[in-house]
Chain A
Amino acid sequence: MTGTGTALTLARAQFAFTISFHFIFPAFSIGLASYLAVLEALWLKTGKPVYDNLFRYWIKIFAIVFGMGVVSGIVMSYQFGTNWAVFSDKAGPIIGPLMAYEVLSAFFLEAGFLGVMLFGINKVGKRLHFLATCMVAAGTLLSATWILAANSWMQTPAGWMTNAAGQFVPQGSWLTIIWNPSFPYRFVHTVIAAYLTTSLAVGAVGAWHLLRDRNNAGARTMFSMAMWMAALVAPIQILAGDTQGLNTQEYQPAKVMAMEGHFDSYAAGAPLVLFGIPDETNRRMTYSVEIPKLSSLILAHDWNAPLAGLDTIARRDWPPVAIIFWSFRVMVGLGLAILGLGVLSLLARVRGKLYEWSVLHRLAVTMGPAGFIAVIAGWVTTEVGRQPFTVYHALRTADSVSPIATPAVTGSLLAFVVVYFACFVSGAIYILKLMAKPPSAHEAPPEPKPIHAAGITPAAGLK
């Protein structure tokens, strides 16, 4: 079954829509879970109430983010079957077990300990509660491991062969499949991205409250922690991104050509295109601003290295150039801006003005959403860059789709758009409302709270 035209386009739109929405939540909850574990560890170690209060402040936000991640994730686990049946049949023997491991090792761990983490501190005591927090954090990281192994296998498939039924089946060791060529690079880059995204969000909330009250202890602590993260990890992330780029250059050169906007090959030194408008029809960049030979230096570490362009790739195997060209620039631009923020925060620290310098705080508030946008832009770059294949050079997207008629796909896409906007926009508003409240010295635990009609139990005997 080869899908063409409207139904295929709509199925792709539906996947792009649901996964983009979904990805926002784990990008935040991976970072937040680890942050909560750190806060609780610091509280247990130092006994300082500020850490305990920050824990309770952020766990209320975590509960909402995690819940939205779960429900949007359930959709993903069925979307492969509803809209991408041929892909599921063919790649199921390899992708399926990786996802089954994700459910067994990660989802159950997170969900099983979440209840205790949210509501159980008075029932199980501090130490077991800390264990529950750590298990939830470990679950988010395990989940990232398995799903990125599956995703990376689609990008750089390894250790497979085709059976009589036309399915991709394992050949040899599963380790080859899991540790496929792009997995380690993608894993490092994505997990760091989640941590940076969270630190920017936490930093923005801290900065917002510092602008109102410089002496708020919670705001000071979270801002300082977030800025350390940004300053130390942003440079590492740029290096990690660079190595993933080189890995992509080796295994998916067409993707890098599109990212760079290189329609033509260069015999001696390719320019770095800073900006421009890709014209896929005429196979050239228009209005481009270039730095001569810099692209060769970055990708081949040699000013004069020859670099192949999209003219060496069959037109039917091109990814959509314009989308990747732009999404890549958005990601890199934001990455550099995050590095800038980190450097400024170090400067402020050296001058002893970290909590007083309002320009820095305003900048941090503005940069609050930067991580989310960068994560989505990076995801678009790598996923759209995989096109026109679902399994790179092995299965075309047009050959992966379910035999579903256009009206059914249209109807479901509309339903997803309506429900997602209603639910997740409300969720975002509630999160912003929680963030707008300053962290207090006696932060309340998450609901379900004592019910007022039955008599108030103030702060519910938090030990």
Chain B
Amino acid sequence: MHANLTVVWAGIIVFAVAMYVVMDGFDLGIGILFTRFDVGVERDTAMNAIAPVWDGNETWLILGGGGLMAAFPLAYAVVLPALYAPIIAMLLGLVFRGVAFEFRWRDPNHRARWDSGFCLGSIVATFAQGVTLGALLQGIKISGRAYAGGYWDWLTPFSVLTGTSLVVGYALLGACWLIWKTSDLVHVEARRFAAVLTPGLLAAIAAVSIYTPFLSNKFYATWFTWPGVCALAAMPVAVAAIGFALYRHTGQGRDYVPFVLTLSLFGLSLLGLAISMWPDVIPGRLSVWDAAAPRSSQIFMLVGASVLMPLILAYTAWAYWVFRGKVAHEGYH
């Protein structure tokens, strides 16, 4: 029973992380591209496309962190000190970009500065999230119930690769969101960015996928033995097919399609990640069962989550629906 609850909670945390990547991914991506847009109408339109929803998007990150502490306290206690520098960098990046949303309207004389802060904060936060993922995949030293490595262990060629890949990926998500939500100049510009970023993301996915199985014997065994080898054969085909469709749709076609296709690339990447990691929360060191909170904590939270999560999804969907359609120059008024 406890084992099943643990699996459920692992699923909920993965869901929160996936929701975060989907939702904050595109608004971080718009931040990454932000200073590439012209000052004035273009930037203001890009900002209008995310202003009403970014708060909710970032809340999924708090759920990821808070949920991890609640459901897998040991993992939370080991992973965060191990990834100290990238986590702090991510938080500070998020502070910078978060305040810029409001400040750029309040201070027209320094708007250029807050716009740069918005862009830089988004890049730093995204890169740090990618580094965090890479550093987690490559393994973390543990002794007893604590992190046992140094404070530079996270920095490796692989973590820099995953960091860069995520910057490219979020930027593409952001561009695709703008293709969907805007018209005129910004729309045309966003299509151009997407056309450049699509091959970039495909290359990044390929590089990370080729690198990952060689990080540990466990990853290698997962992918190169039955049944993992089926996934190994299917994944590149699926990624290539979606990538090709995406590339074609960056130039023409329905405006929502590129966003959906990019999301499915993220979905496949996440699936690959889950296949690599399962059932560990820290690869090779700590399984979800080792790190799980006691049963009564899991049940107490599950009661709340099963009532509140559907409600959250419902009113979040409503909020998105209220602001549906293209963002006009006039913002939301």
Contact = CB atoms under 8 A, between A and B. Distances in A.
B189 interface: no
Nearest to B70: A96
Interface in A61-109: 63-64, 66-68, 70-75, 77-78, 80-82, 85-86, 88-97, 99-105, 107-109
Contacts of B81: 81-82, 85, 402-404
A359 interface: no
Nearest to B81: A402
Contacts of A450: 329-331, 333
A453 B333 contact: no
Contact of A169 (B70, B294, B329): B294
A419 interface: yes
Interface stretch (A113-121, A201-209, A228-236, A263-271): A113-121
A102 B315 CA distance: 17
Contacts of B56: 108, 111-112, 114-115
B65 interface: yes
A404 B103 CA distance: 34
Interface in B51-107: 51-53, 55-56, 58-59, 61-63, 65-67, 69-71, 73-74, 76-81, 84-85, 87-88, 91-92, 94-96, 98-99, 101-103, 105-107
A97 B302 CA distance: 10
A66 B55 CA distance: 10
Contacts of B53: 115
A403 B84 CA distance: 11
Contacts of A166: 145
Contacts, number: 287
A15 interface: no
B332 interface: yes
A394 interface: no
Contacts of B71: 96, 100
Contacts of A438: none
A89 B77 contact: yes
Contact of B91 (A78, A91, A103): A78
A339 to B, nearest CB: 34
B312 interface: yes
A75 B89 CA distance: 11
A17 interface: no
Nearest to A75: B91
A373 B40 CA distance: 40
| Interface residues of A, dominant DSSP | helix
B245 interface: no
B297 interface: yes
B293 interface: yes
A247 interface: no
Contacts of B45: 451
Given A97-B300, A403-B147, A408-B84, A423 B95 contact: yes
Nearest to A105: B308
A253 interface: no
Contacts of B151: 404-405, 407-408
Nearest to B184: A454
Interface residues of B, number: 74
A66 B56 CA distance: 12
Contacts of A306: none
A460 B241 CA distance: 46
A92 B76 contact: yes
A103 B297 contact: no
A316 interface: no
Interface string A10-26: 00000000000000000
Interface stretch (B28-36, B226-234, B316-324): B316-324
B217 to A, nearest CB: 27
A96 B333 contact: no
Contacts of B55: 66-67, 70, 110-111, 114-115
- Chain A contact-residue range equals 35 or more
Contact of B73 (A119, A167, A460, A461): A167
B157 to A, nearest CB: 22
A169 B296 contact: yes
A111 B58 contact: yes
A445 interface: yes
B52 A119 contact: yes
Given A88-B73, A92-B73, A447-B331, A64 B146 contact: no
Interface string B156-183: 0000000000000000000000000000
B136 interface: no
Given A71-B94, A78-B80, A170-B294, A445 B58 contact: no
A144 B18 CA distance: 28
B203 interface: no
Given A89-B145, A419-B96, A451-B329, A99 B41 contact: no
B147 A70 contact: no
Contacts of B99: 67-68, 71, 423-424, 426-427
A451 B84 contact: no
Contacts of B58: 70, 74, 111
B69 A99 contact: yes
Contacts of B107: 426, 430
Contacts of A122: 332-333
A92 B70 contact: yes
A82 B83 CA distance: 8
A111 B24 CA distance: 13
A449 interface: yes
Given A97-B293, A427-B99, A460-B333, 12 more contacts: A64-B102, A78-B80, A78-B87, A89-B145, A111-B56, A122-B333, A124-B322, A135-B315, A402-B77, A419-B96, A453-B41, A454-B329
23 contacts: A67-B99, A78-B65, A80-B76, A81-B80, A85-B77, A89-B74, A89-B76, A92-B76, A94-B297, A99-B70, A100-B66, A103-B63, A108-B63, A108-B315, A111-B58, A115-B52, A119-B331, A120-B52, A447-B105, A450-B333, A451-B44, A453-B329, A462-B333
Interface of A: 1, 63-64, 66-68, 70-75, 77-78, 80-82, 85-86, 88-97, 99-105, 107-116, 118-120, 122-124, 135, 163, 165-167, 169-170, 174, 402-405, 407-408, 411-412, 415-416, 419-420, 423-424, 426-427, 430, 433-434, 445, 447-451, 453-455, 457, 460-462
In the A-B complex, the 5 residue pairs with the closest CB atoms: A92-B73, A96-B70, A81-B80, A115-B52, A460-B333
Interface of B: 40-41, 44-45, 47-48, 51-53, 55-56, 58-59, 61-63, 65-67, 69-71, 73-74, 76-81, 84-85, 87-88, 91-92, 94-96, 98-99, 101-103, 105-107, 145-148, 150-151, 293-294, 296-297, 300-301, 304-305, 308-309, 312, 315-316, 319, 322-323, 329-333
